[in-house]
């Protein structure tokens, strides 16, 4: 990581470095002037410094000279907004390493920074020993010694955070290490409680106000157990509000300590005199309190600044520890939820590795006697499941749930659901979840219900069939009984002939209904004039009822319309429709058919036949059930007329609609057929 310091007043625009500030290879620090940047420069931790100014001046020349005297090994880039070649020469003579003349190019600026940082070899990092420092003002000898030892410790400080994954454990270890570095008698670190573990939904906003001691040295155990800080008041509230380092004493940079007795009281209870924020680079998660040195010497700004950065590293480690425990708890909860499911659950990885398989899935695929510890890999899945899973993982698309008949033993019917995990910005392949539900009993119940429905339907058909045949046999049986005694009578012979004709027609119609109802295809073979079909069907219907009266009116908006059809089946369908109309019509019966052109849903031309009789029409209850098998409102017939008509018309790629009348001229039936 490159530590880059920018020295610029608030009103000075420096080169655009947004790319570097968000890069993981840069850590960007900014100070308004050289005096404010002095503690950072004294630590020796900076790799490059950039001085941004509006223009060259005596003050700029003085700042470059002082910088070079303070940090002789740190490369310095001067970036003026305007200047001349003579100004650049003066800056180089004063100690600048690079002068960036406007206009600034971000890519060039970043390249210069990286190159200077690579050439900057700090003696303390190279030899592992304190480096020769430039002359320093009086009173900074302890800071220099502290810096040298601190750098040596910081090199190995990663060992502290690898001490444990438990944030409390490595915080206690951190406190001991910190006391060894700075030589203070008391240290206490107060952190907010960790977030709740095991949450599977979106993270909720945290409202915790307590700061609990996570690690301390030099403080009584009884005090640690009962003492907490608050985020809303006292030291905790002040640190979280200001983000500054607080000192207790006459030389404090926070004079409000003297005006707030609560702050001073908390310092006195803990026996400490310095409070620092503990940040995770996003927000403040705690407060660190330091007591005085064992030697009695005060802490310098450089020492406190270094401790501040160490606390920031601690905050990052604590945050990572919390995230680790949250992920572990969520994973454990997710596994427990899937394991407790009665449905089979399998999680497959992007590389087709089985990440998780619960016992229910093993039991469904391998049998009830399969132990919970039995393993499973992708190659062991049945081919239909493996193929579907591979499709979901490789393409990231969902597969509709389906039924899979597993051979067993014993044989099972399994309902399969495949759920891809959203990949977000990650490329395919992606993980997926397989769920298996045992539908064996459900399918058995469905089959039993279907069989019961079929038996019920067969019973209804038999009942209606027997009723219709018996109605036809009654007059025939009566004439049979009188045949020997009354055959010589002409009146008897005429009555017998009428009965034979009527009842054989009834049986013939019922037989044709059953045949057309059983057919699966109309077999469109002919192209016939529609008007001829209508009149012939009406004539057959009137003859079947034995009516001499009855009128059919055809109103056609299409000249000479033709339809492609199967002649016999369409004639029978129209005959059933006319029979229904004649039986419901008034006296004398009259049926009107209006033929109009229409465009079918597929864009092809079609015909709409609007059929209306001079009766009262359908009621809403009858219209809803008019085409149901065996539904009838009469004492005779089996209720298959409109059912067969609908079946035949649909076989001709048409549609039959039954309507109630809202206006006097509304149709009772509408027949939609494709035109020739």
Burial class (CB in 10 A: 0-12, 13-18, 19+), 484: exposed
Of residues 41 and 523, more confidently modeled: 41
CA distance readout (Å), 455 to 22, 447, 448, 451, 468: 75, 12, 10, 6, 20
Instruction: Give the SS3 label for residue 80.
Output: strand
In the chain, pLDDT over 70 holds for what percent of residues?
85
Highest mean pLDDT among 257-261, 314-318, 519-523 belongs to: 314-318
Q: Average pLDDT for residues 201-229, to the nearest whole number?
A: 79
Q: Over 70: is that where the pLDDT of 147 sits? A: no
Short-list 306, 275, 304, 299, CA closest to 3? 306
CA distance readout (Å), 449 to 156, 439, 460: 75, 15, 16
Confidence of residue 121 (pLDDT cuts 50, 70, 90): low
Q: Give the pLDDT confidence of 577-611 residue by residue, as tens digits.
A: 998 898 888 888 999 999 999 998 888 899 999 99
Q: Over 60: is that where the pLDDT of 130 sits? A: no
Short-list 178, 52, 43, 40, CA closest to 122? 43
**Residue 153: what pLDDT?**
56
Half-sphere exposure of 528 (CA within 13 A, CB side): 18
Q: Average pLDDT for residues 55-75, to the nearest whole number?
A: 87
Confidence of residue 310 (pLDDT cuts 50, 70, 90): confident
In the chain, pLDDT over 90 holds for what percent of residues?
16
Q: Over 80: is that where the pLDDT of 144 sits? A: no
Residue 647 tokens read as 């079946």
Residue 171's contacts (CB-CB under 8 Å, 6 or more residues apart) are 189, 191, 214, 215, 314, 318
Q: Average pLDDT for residues 567-580, to the nearest whole number?
A: 89
**Residue 166: what pLDDT?**
84
Q: Average pLDDT for residues 120-130, to the nearest whole number?
A: 41
> pTM of the full predicted structure?
0.46
CA distance readout (Å), 102 to 81, 83, 112, 566, 649: 6, 8, 15, 90, 85
Q: Phi and psi (nearest 5°) for 69?
A: -75, -30
Give the helix/strand (H/E) hosting 187.
strand 187-191
Q: Where do the domains of the chain lie, and which CATH numbers do they carry?
A: 2-127 (3.40.50.2300), 141-327 (3.30.450.40), 341-438 (3.30.450.20), 519-674 (3.30.565.10)
Q: Over 70: is that where the pLDDT of 314 sits? A: yes
Q: Give the pLDDT confidence of 651-663 residue by residue, as tens digits.
A: 888 999 999 998 8
**Residue 461: what pLDDT?**
75
Residue 487 tokens read as 């055959």
**Residue 254: what pLDDT?**
53
**CB contact at 8 A, 26 and 50:** no
Highest mean pLDDT among 133-147, 330-344, 362-376, 554-568 belongs to: 554-568
CA distance readout (Å), 18 to 15, 28, 252, 276: 9, 10, 35, 29
Lowest pLDDT segment from 17-26, 213-222, 629-638: 17-26
Q: Over 70: is that where the pLDDT of 373 sits? A: no
Confidence of residue 127 (pLDDT cuts 50, 70, 90): very low
Q: How far apart are CA 468 and CA 465, in angstroms?
A: 5
Q: Average pLDDT for residues 268-288, to the nearest whole number?
A: 90
Cross-strand pairs, 213: 190
DSSP per residue over 117-156, as a string? HHH---HHHHHSSPPPPPP--TT-HHHHHHHHHHHHHHHT
Taking all residues of the chain, what is their mean pLDDT, rounded to a whole number? 81
**CB contact at 8 A, 287 and 275:** yes
Q: Average pLDDT for residues 441-467, to the nearest whole number?
A: 81
């Amino acid at each position: 990581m490159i530590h880059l310091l920018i020295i610029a007043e608030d009103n000075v625009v420096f080169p655009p470095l947004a790319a570097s500030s968000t890069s993981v290879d840069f850590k960007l620090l900014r100070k308004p002037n050289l005096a404010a940047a002095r503690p950072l420069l004294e630590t020796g931790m900076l790799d490059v410094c950039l001085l941004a100014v509006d223009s060259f001046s005596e003050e700029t020349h003085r700042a470059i000279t002082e910088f070079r005297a303070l940090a002789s090994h740190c490369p310095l880039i001067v970036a003026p907004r305007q200047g001349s070649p003579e100004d650049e020469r003066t800056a180089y003579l004063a100690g600048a390493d690079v002068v960036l003349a406007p206009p600034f190019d971000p890519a060039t600026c970043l390249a210069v920074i990286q190159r200077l940082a690579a050439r900057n070899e700090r003696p303390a990092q190279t030899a592992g020993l304190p480096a020769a420092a430039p002359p320093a003002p009086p009173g900074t000898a302890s800071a220099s010694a502290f810096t040298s030892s601190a750098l040596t410790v910081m090199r190995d400080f990663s060992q502290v955070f690898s001490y444990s994954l438990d944030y409390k454990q490595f915080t206690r270890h951190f406190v001991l290490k910190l006391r060894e570095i700075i030589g203070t008698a008391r240290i206490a670190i107060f952190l907010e409680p960790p977030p709740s573990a095991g949450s599977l939904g979106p993270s909720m906003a945290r409202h915790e106000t307590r700061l609990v001691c996570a690690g301390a040295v030099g403080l009584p155990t009884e005090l640690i157990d009962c003492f907490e800080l608050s985020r809303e008041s006292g030291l905790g509230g002040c640190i979280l509000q200001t983000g500054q380092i607080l000192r207790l004493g006459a030389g404090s940079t926070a004079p409000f300590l003297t005006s707030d007795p609560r702050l001073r009281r908390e310092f006195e209870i803990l026996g400490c005199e310095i409070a620092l924020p503990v940040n995770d680079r996003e927000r403040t998660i705690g407060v660190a309190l330091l007591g005085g040195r064992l030697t009695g010497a005060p802490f310098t700004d450089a020492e406190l600044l270094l401790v501040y950065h160490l606390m920031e590293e601690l905050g990052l480690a604590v945050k990572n520890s919390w995230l680790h425990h949250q992920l572990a708890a969520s994973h454990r909860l997710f596994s427990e939820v899937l394991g407790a499911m009665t449905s089979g659950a399998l999680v497959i990885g992007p590389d087709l590795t089985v990440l998780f398989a619960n016992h229910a899935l093993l039991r469904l695929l391998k049998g009830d006697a399969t132990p919970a510890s039995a393993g499973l890999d992708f190659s062991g899945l049945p081919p239909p499941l493996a193929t579907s899973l591979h499709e979901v993982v490789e393409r990231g698309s969902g597969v509709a749930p389906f039924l899979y008949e597993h051979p067993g033993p014993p044989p099972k019917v399994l309902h399969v659901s495949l759920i891809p995990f959203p990949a977000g910005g990650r490329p395919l392949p992606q993980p997926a979840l397989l769920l298996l539900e045992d539908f064996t009993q459900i399918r058995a119940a469905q089959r039993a219900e279907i069989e019961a429905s079929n038996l019920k339907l067969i019973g209804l058909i038999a009942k209606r069939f027997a009723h219709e045949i018996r109605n036809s046999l009654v007059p025939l049986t009566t004439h049979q009984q009188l045949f020997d005694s009354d055959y010589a009578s002409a009146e008897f012979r005429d009555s017998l002939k009428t009965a034979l004709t009527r009842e054989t027609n009834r049986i013939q119609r019922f037989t044709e209904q059953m045949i057309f109802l059983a057919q699966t295809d109309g077999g469109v073979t002919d192209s016939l004039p529609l008007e001829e079909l209508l009149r012939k069907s009406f004539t057959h219907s009137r003859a079947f009822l034995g009516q001499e009266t009855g009128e059919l009116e055809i109103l056609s908006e299409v000249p000479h319309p033709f339809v492609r059809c199967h002649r016999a089946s369409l004639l029978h369908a129209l005959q059933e429709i006319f029979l229904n109309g004649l039986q419901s019509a008034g006296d004398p019966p009259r049926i009107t058919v209006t033929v109009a052109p229409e465009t079918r849903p597929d864009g092809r031309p079609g015909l709409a036949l609007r059929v209306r009789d001079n009766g009262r029409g359908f009621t809403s209850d009858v219209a809803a059930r008019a085409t149901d098998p065996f539904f009838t409102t009469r004492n005779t017939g089996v209720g298959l007329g409109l059912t067969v008509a609908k079946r035949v018309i649909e076989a001709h790629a048409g549609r039959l609609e039954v309507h109630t009348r809202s206006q006097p001229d509304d149709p009772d039936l509408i027949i939609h057929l494709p035109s020739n």
